[in-house]
Amino acid sequence: MTGMEAHGDAELKKELDATLHARKELGEEYEPALIDSFLEKVEQRFDGVVDRRVRRQLAEQQMVVARGSRSPQSTDSFGERFGFGIVSLVLAVPLSGIGGGVAGLPGLLVAWGGIVGVNMVQAARLSPNFFGRRKGRRESDWED
């Protein structure tokens, strides 16, 4: 994690603390506005991280194409997997706080269920054999 991302994480933690403190002081009638405001800040942070990573990936692909060594489609997806995992963990902190703070344990379970679900979809997209599927398997192969 770069220094800039670590700074952003500390900033988001401060924002979450301030949002939770404001909710306690202002009461439940301001809760939707506070949550929307915090989620907007998380979204801005997420967009910034994704934009930087996409620009870096595009620049790397352009360099590869310019050198003529291989096509951009054949680049290793480790960076994408790693980046997606880091972003998931960064977003897990505020989502856990919001889910747990607003709805208790059920809210926390819903937040983590969503995080796990998104990561499973991403893993299946990047690695078709992730869930044990094999290319070329026919429906008759499942029958006894």
Residue 1 has pLDDT above 60, yes or no: no
Q: What is the pLDDT of residue 3?
A: 55
Residue 72 has pLDDT above 80, yes or no: no
For 43-56, write each residue's pLDDT tens digit.
888 888 888 888 89
Q: Which domain holds residue 29?
A: 3-128
> What is the average pLDDT across 61-85?
70
Q: Is residue 142 part of a domain?
A: no
Q: Cβ neighbours of residue 5 under 8 Å, at least 6 residues apart?
A: 49, 90
Q: Is residue 135 part of a domain?
A: no
DSSP letter at 77?
A: S
CA 8 and chain centroid, separation: 15
d(CA 44, CA 121): 23
DSSP letter at 71?
A: -
Q: Is residue 69 part of a domain?
A: yes
For 110-142, write each residue's pLDDT tens digit.
989 988 888 888 878 777 776 665 555 554 444
Q: Is residue 137 part of a domain?
A: no
**Average pLDDT, whole number, for the chain?**
78
Q: Is residue 134 part of a domain?
A: no
Q: How many domains does the chain have?
A: 1
Q: Cβ neighbours of residue 42 under 8 Å, at least 6 residues apart?
A: 12, 91, 94
Quote the pTM value: 0.41
Q: Is residue 48 part of a domain?
A: yes
Q: Is residue 21 part of a domain?
A: yes
Among 94-98, 104-108, 129-133, whose mean pLDDT is lowest?
129-133
d(CA 54, CA 62): 12
30: left (phi over 0), alpha (psi -120 to 50) or beta: alpha
